A and B are shown apart, each in its own frame.
Chain A
Amino acid sequence: MASGLRGYIIQRVAFAIVMLLGVTMILFALMRLAPGGPEAVLVGGEFSPEAAAQVRERLGLDRPLATQYVAWVSAAARGDLGRSFKSGEPVATLIGERLGPTLHLTGGALVFALVVAIPLGVLAAVKRNSIWDTLASALALFGVSFPSFWLGIMLILLFSEVLHLLPPSGLSEYGREGDVLARLRHAILPTLTLGLIQMAAFMRFTRSSLLEVLRQDYVRTAHAKGLSAGRVVWRHALRNALIPVVTVIGLSLPTLVGGAVLTETVFAWPGVGRLAVGAVFERDYPIIMGVNLLIATVVITANLLTDLAYGLVDPRITYR
């Protein structure tokens, strides 16, 4: 059994690495296929074909595609993600600086969404088809029926223009980066925007998942044993119903790390999403590949860990 397990792990890890290479290779090729290149931004307004050619040569873009890819991969394996074509700053630094704000935003939104959505989902499931169910669903669906940039600007107008309560955009104020309260004030609107949108999926899911669990035998047994409805719901049903929620969170991993582009743009939030989109529009390949590598690594690693966990835990899975 032990060698089977080891074999399984090795197989899965190898597969993960192959997937990682595959994803990066595809994106690498796709990017190069897009017309135009970084020279448009670097040579700028006084564009000339000679200057463009000079730039491409300096950046190594005139080498064959395969050579460029191999160079990138071997550097990346050593932890060197190269330098931005546009600014010359190390890609790892650029991404690193943006990761914090992105995680604060997407993480905060996730927490908000869960904190609001799960109780709502429980309420809707337990009081199915009653007025509570309707209200809870209405609340959840509200956020998901707006485009995020629309919701964002509406919230900004409400809280900044009308109520004069919150700042419209930005991470914090200059000179007050350490001030937690200032940062909190700036984070409220973008987190709310993103969170309201994510809420619906979580609420809906909690509701249906809980409904399914509530029908199962062991729950009825608990009822029969005389446990109160509340205890049944909270202790037995909910715990089991929430396991799949973890999977749904897993589905939102790319956004978690890759940033919510639209929200970041509206709120001038210096996150990874904005960095990546700007890089695509400017053909800043090292940044694009760097962000892609980051997200793919996170997602593939998460999948790998989940696979390994299931493999270890579930005796029915055989290691072929």
Chain B
Amino acid sequence: MTTRAMLGALAVALMVAAGILAPAIAPYSYSTQSLRERLQPPSATHWLGTDGFGRDVLTRVVWGSRVSLEIGFLATAVAVVVGTLVGSTAAHFAGTADTLVMRVADMFMSVPALFLILVIVALFGASLLHTALVIALITWAPVARVVRAECLALRARDFVSAAHALGAGHARVLGHHLLRNALPVITVQASLLLGQAILIESGLSYLGLGAQPPLPSWGNMVVEGRQFLASAWWVATFPGLAIFVTVLGFNLVGDGLRDVLDPTLRTDAP
């Protein structure tokens, strides 16, 4: 793995650790307000300053790591699982099933993402779980495409026909042969998706959706902090930096993985 990818992995690991350890390492509670101490610059008592309600920014960035990464991992997990299942099944069975399934994926992709999200949130409300599911809803289809392409290529190779000839059932061919060999592609997709999910969540916060206050996510912290950019830059900048570092990290890891596994992977193929 290149140095770049290592650095990316390090950044991600740090953020994940912060998120997991949040209850232990956060100096304050993320919701305790102190209106008289709002918008204080970084100091000894508040390392990253306080926000518009007097809450400690460091605490909220650390908890925000937990929330943003929770949403990111959940969304990615669902998207990858669904996308892989759909894509590999389509490739394996081919023919009409393939066309049908991929057309459904196409339909998902032809409805503008935000539409879908807004409708679903209006219907079911905005919670962590819903946010994650909604992000998965708009990101599974490209995963399915990629997995399908990879599986189609694998299918054409000898060991699959050999397996069939030896009498292996569908499930075995799918699970043991196709998926195992498609794993590298899936992993790369997953790491890229993680970064994307965090960005989508912050976009949702901008529109008033996403994780809802007082729960801190990096996304809603940046949105809340924007109005103070001139007078209290720290409120938006630190969570913004956290997003940047984490997403960059995931991207670097994804690129690094791709380079290691096989630089000629058709990971963005149709």
- A and B pair up: yes
Report which A residues bind B (CB closer than 8 A).
15, 19, 22-23, 26-27, 30-31, 33-36, 128-129, 134, 137, 141, 144-150, 153, 157, 200-201, 204-205, 208, 211-212, 215, 244, 247-248, 250-251, 254-255, 258-259, 261-262, 265, 273, 276-277, 280-281, 288, 291-292, 295-296, 299-300, 303
Could you say which interface size class chain B belongs to? 35 or more
Name A306's closest neighbour in chain B (CB-CB).
B270
Bound-state CA distance A231–B59 (Å) is 57
**A23-B107, A146-B244, A208-B265 given; 17 more Cβ-contact pairs under 8 Å:** A19-B106, A34-B123, A36-B122, A146-B247, A150-B240, A208-B263, A211-B264, A212-B266, A215-B264, A244-B270, A254-B111, A265-B206, A276-B115, A280-B115, A280-B122, A299-B106, A303-B106
**Contact call A299/B110, Cβ cutoff below 8 A:** yes
Using known A-B contacts A262-B206, A280-B118, determine if residue A244 contacts B269 with beta carbons closer than 8 Å. yes
The 0/1 profile, CB within 8 Å of A marked 1, for residues 237-270 of chain B is 0001001100110011001001000011111111
- For A250, the chain B residues whose CB sits under 8 A away are 270
- For B25, the chain A residues whose CB sits under 8 A away are none
Bound-state CA distance A146–B211 (Å) is 18
Q: How far is the CB of A114 from chain B (nearest CB, A)?
A: 14
- For A26, the chain B residues whose CB sits under 8 A away are 107, 111
Name B267's closest neighbour in chain A (CB-CB).
A208
Name B103's closest neighbour in chain A (CB-CB).
A19
Q: Tell yes or no: B142 within 8 A of A by CB.
A: yes
Bound-state CA distance A261–B269 (Å) is 26
Bound-state CA distance A257–B66 (Å) is 35
- For A255, the chain B residues whose CB sits under 8 A away are 112
**Which 4 A-B pairs have CB atoms at the shortest separation, nearest pair first?**
A299-B110, A212-B264, A258-B112, A147-B202
Say which residue of B119, B243, B264 sits within 8 Å of A34 (CB atoms): B119
- For A288, the chain B residues whose CB sits under 8 A away are 115
Q: Tell yes or no: B207 within 8 A of A by CB.
A: yes
- For B269, the chain A residues whose CB sits under 8 A away are 244, 247
**Contact call A280/B264, Cβ cutoff below 8 A:** no
Bound-state CA distance A288–B122 (Å) is 15
Q: Tell yes or no: B219 within 8 A of A by CB.
A: yes
Using known A-B contacts A129-B2, A149-B206, determine if residue A291 contacts B252 with beta carbons closer than 8 Å. no
Q: Tell yes or no: B229 within 8 A of A by CB.
A: yes
Q: How far is the CB of A17 from chain B (nearest CB, A)?
A: 12
**Contact call B207/A277, Cβ cutoff below 8 A:** yes
Q: How far is the CB of B197 from chain A (nearest CB, A)?
A: 12
- For A129, the chain B residues whose CB sits under 8 A away are 2
**Contact call B195/A145, Cβ cutoff below 8 A:** yes
Bound-state CA distance A67–B62 (Å) is 52
Q: How far is the CB of A270 from chain B (nearest CB, A)?
A: 17
22 pairs of residues in contact across A and B, judged by CB atoms under 8 Å = A19-B107, A23-B110, A141-B248, A145-B244, A145-B247, A146-B240, A147-B199, A147-B202, A153-B226, A201-B268, A208-B258, A208-B267, A211-B263, A250-B270, A261-B112, A262-B203, A276-B115, A277-B207, A292-B111, A292-B115, A296-B107, A299-B106
Q: Tell yes or no: B77 within 8 A of A by CB.
A: no
Name B254's closest neighbour in chain A (CB-CB).
A204
- For A145, the chain B residues whose CB sits under 8 A away are 195, 243-244, 247-248, 251
**Contact call A300/B110, Cβ cutoff below 8 A:** yes
Bound-state CA distance A303–B110 (Å) is 11
Q: How far is the CB of A238 from chain B (nearest CB, A)?
A: 16
Bound-state CA distance A129–B229 (Å) is 38
Bound-state CA distance A197–B166 (Å) is 48
